[in-house]
Amino acid sequence: MMQLYWSPRSRSFTTLWLMEETGQPYERVLTDISTGAQRKPEYLAVNPMGKVPALKDGEATMAEAAAICAYVAERCPEAKLAPPVGDPLRAKYLYWLFFGPSCVEPAIVQLATKLEMNPVSAGWGDAQRVFDVLDGALEKGPWLLGENFSAADVAIGSGLNYMVRMFKMVPSRPSFDAYIDRCVARPAFRRAEKIAAGG
């Protein structure tokens, strides 16, 4: 059984939601970062970066939310969270799955720190373009792959909920609001919220 190392009030929520979407049993291993549990040697053996989330699947260990999303989606094909290899939608799926950590997260740091960067030098371009591109994709909806919900929606939807609604780090847009509403309406999202709240 896969073990998910997670902590409340952290980006672990992305993987908690994903695990709930699979419908498969898994073990939750509370790694409360408010107590420094992520710095203990036994946890560093799973993720030397000392961050959550992390995943253990037998002898395999890994970290990074988007990577965990990709791995679990492929380990649980019956959940249909990833287009199969050879499906043309797989290209867009992988694009959006990694758009979160490679473009959205740096764009948030840019906004929060008011960092001025040459868009040619920054791997993500610039924050305005990142959110314009995401806005354009979400206007088409209902999901990033059209009618097909995927692990990419878990990664992007979780991040948008965090940035737009919870911490108001990014100004809302109509497409963002409608998309977040669809995400939070999913039963797996609600189950993950309840778990994260200690329910």
The answer to whether residues 196 and 16 touch, using CB atoms and an 8 Å cutoff, is yes
Sign of the CA dihedral 101, 107, 108, 112? positive
The answer to whether residues 68 and 17 touch, using CB atoms and an 8 Å cutoff, is no
- What's the confidence (pLDDT) of residue 117? 74
* Over residues 23-36, mean pLDDT: 94
Grouping H, G, I as helix, E, B as strand and the rest as coil, residue 117 is coil
Within 10 angstroms of residue 183's Cβ, the number of other Cβ atoms is 20
The answer to whether residues 136 and 129 touch, using CB atoms and an 8 Å cutoff, is no
Residue 103 burial (10 A CB sphere; 0-12, 13-18, 19+): buried
Q: Nearest to residue 159, comparing CAs of 185, 133, 179?
A: 179
Of 169 and 87, more confident: 87
* Over residues 48-54, mean pLDDT: 95
- What's the confidence (pLDDT) of residue 122? 64
The answer to whether residues 26 and 3 touch, using CB atoms and an 8 Å cutoff, is yes
- What's the confidence (pLDDT) of residue 121? 66
Q: Return the exposure string of 25-54: e unless at least 16 CB atoms fall within 10 Å of the residue's CB, then b.
A: ebeebebebeeebbeeeebeebbeebbbbb
- What's the confidence (pLDDT) of residue 161? 95
Taken in order of first residue, the domains within the chain and their CATH numbers are: 3-80+189-196 (3.40.30.10), 89-186 (1.20.1050.10)
| Rounded alpha-carbon distances, angstroms, from residue 17 to 20, 76, 104, 115, 120 | 5, 14, 19, 32, 35
Reported residue count of the chain is 199
Of 199 and 95, more confident: 95
